[in-house]
Amino acid sequence: MMIGFDHKKYLEEQSKYILERVNNYDKLYLEFGGKLLFDLHAKRVLPGFDENAKIKLLHKLKEKIEIIICVFAGDIERNKIRGDFGITYDMDVLRMIDDLRAYELLVNSVVITRYDGQPATNVFMNRLKQRGIKVYTHRPTKGYPTDIDTIVSDEGYGKNPYIETTKPIVVVTAPGPGSGKLATCLSQLYHEYKQGKVAGYSKFETFPVWNIALKHPLNIAYEAATADLKDVNMIDSFHLEAYDNIAVNYNRDVETFPILQRIIEKITGEESEYKSPTDMGVNRVGFGIIDDEVIKEASKQEIIRRLFKIACEFKKGYVDKETLDRIKLIMEELKLKQEDRRVVIYARERSAKLKELSDKNEICPAVAIELNDGTILTGKGSKEMEATAAVILNAVKYLANISDEIHLISPLILEPIRNLKSKTLGSKNAALDCEEILIALSICAATNPTAQVAMNKLPMLKGCQAHSTTILGNNDEEIFRKLGIDITSEPEYPSESLYYNI
C-alpha cells in the first residue's frame, strides 16, 4: 500500500499543540469530534494513518486527561446504529468505556443529553449505574440558540448539574454527531466561571482539513461521509477577515460561530480570544500529509465506496433520496465513475457470466476481491456457500499457493453443518455464510495441514478491497469488517424475500 501520511510526525505535532492550548487555562474542555477509536474513514483517506491515532494521542497525555462521554437520549430511543460497527449508540458507549480503560484513560462519566424521561434511556442509565459508572442528565437548554441571556443563566446552563473533574484537560466525546458535546462543554464552562475558575474551550475535528484546498478530494470525501447530515465545506469567512488567510471549515461551525462566540463572552465576561471557528480548533492532521497524490487517490476511492454504501442504505429505506442525489453530485464534481473502483467491474462481469450459464432468470451473486499485490479474484454463490464465503476461500488458497482444485473443507464437514442449519434450525437458506465457512475451515485445520496453511493467510486479507453484486447480510458484513476488508455492494437484494434479506 502506498503511504501518504506520517503517523509519528502527526502525533508529535498534535500533542505539542494541545499542550500549548491548555497552558492558557486552569482547565481546558476539549470537544472531540469524529471517531475517538477505530476512525476507519481517516485510515482509508489518509494511508498511513493509524485508526486509533487519537486514543494513542490521549494515552500519551493520560496523566493530564479525563473523559466525559455524551449520548443523545433520542439516539438511544430510536436505536441509532453506528455504521462502521453495526451496533447501537448505547452499546457503542459501553464499548468506548472498555476501550478507553484499556488505554489507561480515566472515564469520568456519561452525560445523557436532551433527556426527557425516555423509557429506553432510563433502562440504559440504570445499566450504567449498576456497573458503577456516573451518569448525568442534561435537559434541552432553555432559550437556545438565540436568547443568550437565558442560555447563560441559572435557567439555562445553570439547570444542568456540574460534573466534578480533576484533570487539566477534559475530553468530551460521543459515539457520533449531534450528541450534545458542545452544549456539555459550555455548560461546564458556565459552572467553572461561577466558581471563579478560568476554563477554556477548544475543538478537535479531523475533517475538513483546514489548511488544504476547499476542493481537495480529502475534504470532498468528508462531505461524502456526512452526506446524510448535509454538511458543506466552505471558506471560513471569519478567519479570512481576521487574518487575511484562507482556512477551510464546514457550514455548521461557520454558521453557529457568532452565537458560540457571544455565549463564551457572556460566560467569561471578556472578549473572546477566538476570531474564527478555525481558531477554536486544535487539529494538526494536515501537517502529517507527506504524499498529496496518494491522499487524493485514496480520497476518491473513499467517495466511490460512500456512493455504494448510501445507495444500499437508500434501498433499505435508511436514507432519503436527497442524500443519494447529493453523493451522486459529489461523484460528478470529481468526474468519478463506479467502475473506477477496480473490483466493481470484475464482480459484475462474473455475475453476468453466471447469469448467462443459468437456465433461470435469477439473481447470480458474485464477489470480487483485490489483494494487496493487485491480484483480483472472484467467488460465486452456490448451494453450499455464499459468494462472500467462496471469495475468502479463493483468496486464502491463492495466498497459500494452493491449487484451486483442492478442497480445503471436506464435504463430510460441510454437509452436517448445512443439515443442522436448514433441517434442525429451520433456516430458509442452507448455504453457509462467511462465519460458518471459517468455523468449518478451522475444524478441518485441526487434522488437515493444507487447511491450516490457508487459515494462517487470513490476516493477509486486511486492507484488501472487495465488491459484491448483492447486498450483504449482517453476519457477512461483520466478518469482512473484522478481517479488515473494505467491501462495497450493489443496491440489489440477493432474493425477492422481504424478511430473510434483512
Beta carbons of 341 and 305 less than 8 angstroms apart: yes
Q: Tell me how crowded residue 406 is: count the other CB atoms within 10 A of its CB.
A: 11
- To the nearest 10 degrees (0 to 180), the angle between helices 181-194 and 251-268 is 10
What is d(CA 384, CA 24) in angstroms, rounded to the nearest whole number? 65
| Residue 214 burial (C-beta neighbours within 10 Å; 0-12, 13-18, 19+) | middle
83-107 pLDDT, tens digit per residue, is 667 789 999 999 999 999 999 999 9
159-193 pLDDT, tens digit per residue, is 999 999 999 999 999 998 889 999 999 999 999 99
Q: Is the predicted pLDDT of residue 258 greater than 50, yes or no?
A: yes
Report the pLDDT averaged over residues 77-85. 79
Q: Is the predicted pLDDT of residue 1 greater than 80, yes or no?
A: no
What is d(CA 433, CA 444) in angstroms, rounded to the nearest whole number? 17
pLDDT tier, 400 (very low <50, low <70, confident <90, very high otherwise): very high
What proportion of the chain, given as a percentage, has pLDDT over 70? 98
Residue of 285 and 87 predicted with greater confidence: 285
Quote the pLDDT of residue 404.
Answer: 87
Quote the pLDDT of residue 87.
Answer: 85
Residue with cell 481546558: 28
Quote the pLDDT of residue 502.
Answer: 45
12-47 pLDDT, tens digit per residue, is 999 889 888 888 888 999 999 877 888 889 999 999
116-128 pLDDT, tens digit per residue, is 999 999 999 999 9
Minimum mean pLDDT range among 239-243, 277-281, 430-434 = 430-434
Query: Which one-letter amino acid corresponds to residue 192?
Result: E
Beta carbons of 393 and 371 less than 8 angstroms apart: no
Quote the pLDDT of residue 383.
Answer: 87
Report the pLDDT averaged over residues 418-427. 85
Quote the pLDDT of residue 83.
Answer: 67
Quote the pLDDT of residue 501.
Answer: 54
Q: Is the predicted pLDDT of residue 500 greater than 70, yes or no?
A: no
On average, the pLDDT of the chain sits at 92
CATH homologous superfamily of 7-211+251-287: dip2346 domain like (3.10.630.10)
Beta carbons of 204 and 283 less than 8 angstroms apart: yes
- Please compute, for residue 173, the number of CA atoms within 13 A of its CA located in the half-sphere on the CB side: 25
Compute CA distances 465 → 292, 380, 402, 423, 430, whole Å: 21, 17, 21, 35, 27
Q: Is the predicted pLDDT of residue 321 greater than 70, yes or no?
A: yes
pLDDT tier, 498 (very low <50, low <70, confident <90, very high otherwise): low
Cell of 292: 498529496
- Please compute, for residue 479, the number of CA atoms within 13 A of its CA located in the half-sphere on the CB side: 19
- In the chain, CATH 3.40.140.40 covers 345-489
Q: Tell me how crowded residue 321 is: count the other CB atoms within 10 A of its CB.
A: 8
Q: What is the per-residue DSSP string for 349-372?
A: HHHHHHHHH-SS-----EEEEE-T
Q: Computed over its alpha carbons, how large is the radius of gyration of the chain?
A: 25
211-224 pLDDT, tens digit per residue, is 999 999 999 999 99
Q: What is the CATH number of domain 345-489?
A: 3.40.140.40
In this prediction the pTM is 0.89
- In the chain, CATH 3.10.630.10 covers 7-211+251-287
Minimum mean pLDDT range among 121-125, 213-217, 282-286, 343-347 = 282-286
